[in-house]
Amino acid sequence: MAAAPQAQTVNVTINGVELAVPSGELVVESVKRLWLEVPVFCYHPRMKPVGMCRMCLVEVGFKQPDGSVRMMPKPQAGCTLPASEGMVVLTDSESVHRDRKGVLEFLLINHPLDCPICDRGGECPLQNNTMAYGPSTTRFIEIKRHLPKAFPLSKYVTLDLERCIQCGRCVRFTEEISGDADLAFRFRGAEMQPSTFQLTDFESKFSGNVIEICPVGALTSAKYRFRARPWDLEAAPAVCTLTPCGTNVWLDHRAGRLVRINGRTNEEVNEEWTSDRTKFGHDFYNDPGRLTVPNVRDGDGFKPAAWGDVYDPILAAFAGGGDEVGMIVAPSLSNEALFLAQRLVRTVFGSENIDHRVSGPWVPRAESLRASGTDPVQSTIAELEHKSAVLVFGTGLADEQPMTFLRVRKGWFQRNMAVVAATPQKTEVDAFAAASLRYRPGTEATLAQGLADLAAGKGSASDVAAATGADQAQVEAAAKTLAGSGFAIVTTESLLTGEEGRRAAKILGEWAARAGGQFNCWPLHANSNGATELGALPDALPGFAPNERSGLDVRAMLQAAADGRLKALWLVGTDPLAEFPDRALAEKALETVPFLVVSHGLPVEACSYASVVLPMAFAAEQDGTYTSAERRVQRMRPALRAPGEAKPAWRIFSECLLRAKPMTPLFNPREVMDEIAQAVPAFAVARYDALPETGVVLRTGSGAGEPEPALAGETV
């Protein structure tokens, strides 16, 4: 076997210390190897260096053959200078400190210095660098430049032009990372200002990131403005439960209220980025209407009840109900809650009627990808950037899988990876795709088969183009791009909504398996994979359905309720009136079912039909794990207190189980995970003591994670 190529190194001397660093590494990165720091503003390690601010000046020289060192006459920008053999770098000399002081004095000439009322105050690189390297007083007595304050770039991002140091990080982010190129510099020289073209709204789906990377308080969050100071905040690590990507975040909270969300670095998942859905979508934690106590119906209204009094009527309505009862669970509940939910339904209710697919698609297990031998999760997010080519098929990736979108774009931008977009409408991927296939809806399978054949050297591009409406030249280019192995296909479960899409998914899966590629049909919710693996399905994996029976999916449960065939229904963290595509059916179902339990954190519309309403804690208010689209299990710890008497879903189910069947109580999610690990061997790596901070990807492959039949169904 050939040895792995070694990165070429060069010998450099930094502040008198000799070391070997990779050839071409930027000096600002090389100094970090000695735990030294060169201050920067415009440099960002995930973007191309531009050398705009000059904050990173260092002295540089080169060793001469006679052993002497010849210094360069002027200081150099460490962020644009690659390390080379014999380089000598000084980061702490008198001259460097004088240069830094000069740069800061220059930047501060027109800076408003409104630190006491600036959201960045306390965590501002300009403040910090001025404290460390800047002048203690100013020599300027002239009137400062004045520019618009608090200009709303969008509903999320506010621009304070006076504070901008023109580093270009925000502009480069939209060009290099998100790709929407929504921001640019208008005007030149001292007038230069970051802005949208024509002063339109900054509409990027990733706009919140510029707030975090702006090295000053020029870009601030419209939602966070003036709500806290950094020293008031407690930051807790968390995982986003609004997208399927498992984005790692910091939840900044103050006095029990969530005030800000920032990206948390996980190189395997989101690097350090967030989507706006993640960054700005968690307001519900602070909703003043949060449910705080259990409520039971009292005529046309409700009356508060004690937890101890609500379980008996619930169990009386559901226990042993068999086919006449059912539970619909949110696909964002924790693994522990989903596992106990299905256990309660199967072992106490005697029913298979449990489902998490509130908005579909409701593919019966027999027709699923797994049943056809295709594992729907074959890649991780991180490995996508290293593929030879990626086919994005039938999904608006930036909306449905925002972190995957950024990773695919990174593969194209940094590694020249070829990307093929095949979607009925234009999406963000088209902007960098080597081939864009705009097909007619309903021709998905024809296109998938056509591409698979053409990539294998069969068929004709003109036939595929004629049958699907795609441009022939683009079809030819796509087939050429995907002809080898080493490619990955990315689609989402939204493709499975129609029969044609389901056929397309199978064809794509078979093509990838045949050609040595990878296929991914990723779900759309934070823990859909956990729900599938842990049996929150009416067509559960074999070990979860001991009688090999199938239950009712969400659509069938609502239909049964509407027809009067269901006597009790339990909604957990979900409201079909808002999420199920057929609102009329959902309304009829909730009106008709004789006994309805709604467990939720908010007084959603479904509560008005309920017999019992149970207040539920949200994800950041409890311990638990979540299985993301790439099947990465990540842990969440309680960051906030649940309001009032609200309880986590796993605890509600555990207490029901305890009342229905005497058992050893499960005191915490750690114990539930131990039970899961016994029932579903793939989850053994996710036991709390074994779970790394970056999460763990469950073993993939068809059938991986299927429980052992003897353990899964009846363990209580």
Partnered with residue 254 across adjacent β-strands are: 257
Residue from the set 57, 88, 164, 545 that interacts with ligand SF4 by CB under 6 A: 164
Q: Which is nearer to ligand SF4, 121 or 442 (CB)?
A: 121
Is 214 a binder of ligand FES (CB under 6 A)?
Answer: no
Distances (CA, A) of 658 to 340, 350, 459, 470: 11, 16, 62, 58
Q: Whole-angstrom Cα distance, residue 424 to residue 676?
A: 41
Q: Whole-angstrom Cα distance, residue 222 to residue 650?
A: 35
Residue nearest to ligand SF4 (CB): 118
Q: Which is nearer to ligand SF4, 144 or 661 (CB)?
A: 144
Residue 127 binds which one of ligand SF4, ligand FES, none, with CB within 5 to 8 A depending on kind? ligand SF4
Is 120 a binder of ligand SF4 (CB under 6 A)?
Answer: yes
| HEC letters along 507-547 | HHHHHHHHHCCEEEEECCCCCHHHHHHCCCCCCCCHHHCCC
Residue 43 binds which one of ligand SF4, ligand FES, none, with CB within 5 to 8 A depending on kind? ligand FES
Is 77 a binder of ligand FES (CB under 6 A)?
Answer: yes
CA-closest candidate to residue 289, choices 601, 621, 606, 618: 601
Contacts (CB under 6 A) with ligand FES, residues 54-73: 54-56
Is 53 a binder of ligand FES (CB under 6 A)?
Answer: yes
Is 127 a binder of ligand SF4 (CB under 6 A)?
Answer: yes
Residues 6+ apart with CB under 8 A from 252: 228, 233, 234, 235, 258, 259, 260, 261, 262
Identity of residue 274: T
CB of 14 to ligand FES, least distance (A): 16
Instruction: Give the three-state DSSP class for 716.
Output: coil
Q: Which is nearer to ligand SF4, 216 or 524 (CB)?
A: 216
Residue 208 binds which one of ligand FES, ligand SF4, none, with CB within 5 to 8 A depending on kind? none
Element (H, E) at 398: helix 397-400
CB of 164 to ligand FES, least distance (A): 14
Q: Whole-angstrom Cα distance, residue 169 to residue 210?
A: 8
CB of 50 to ligand FES, least distance (A): 7
Residue 470 binds which one of ligand FES, ligand SF4, none, with CB within 5 to 8 A depending on kind? none
Query: Which residues in 342-401 belong to E strands, given as ranges?
Result: 354-355, 389-393
Note whether 560 and 326 are within 8 A (CB): yes
Q: Which is nearer to ligand SF4, 37 or 114 (CB)?
A: 114
Within 13 Å and on the Cβ side, how many CA atoms surround 112? 19
Is 169 a binder of ligand SF4 (CB under 6 A)?
Answer: yes
Q: Which is nearer to ligand FES, 47 or 467 (CB)?
A: 47
Residue from the set 26, 124, 236, 325 that interacts with ligand SF4 by CB under 6 A: 124
Q: Which is nearer to ligand SF4, 220 or 528 (CB)?
A: 220
Binding mask 178-197 for ligand SF4 (x = CB under 6 A): ----------------x---
DSSP output for 613-673: EEEB--GGGS-EEEE-TT-EEEEE---SPPSTT-B-HHHHHHHHHHHHS------SHHHHH
Residues 6+ apart with CB under 8 A from 299: none
Is 208 a binder of ligand SF4 (CB under 6 A)?
Answer: no
Residue from the set 126, 504, 676, 679 that interacts with ligand SF4 by CB under 6 A: 126
Distance between the two ends of the chain, CA-based, in angstroms? 52
CB of 106 to ligand SF4, least distance (A): 14
Residue 169 binds which one of ligand FES, ligand SF4, none, with CB within 5 to 8 A depending on kind? ligand SF4
Residue from the set 41, 133, 273, 570 that interacts with ligand FES by CB under 6 A: 41
Identity of residue 365: R
CB of 52 to ligand FES, least distance (A): 5
Q: Whole-angstrom Cα distance, residue 46 to residue 410?
A: 10
Q: Whole-angstrom Cα distance, residue 81 to residue 123?
A: 28
CB of 83 to ligand FES, least distance (A): 15
Using CB under 6 A as the criterion, which residues of the chain lie in contact with ligand SF4 when the complex forms? 111-115, 118, 120-121, 124, 126-127, 163-170, 194, 214-219
Using CB under 6 A as the criterion, which residues of the chain lie in contact with ligand FES when the complex forms? 40-43, 51-56, 77, 79
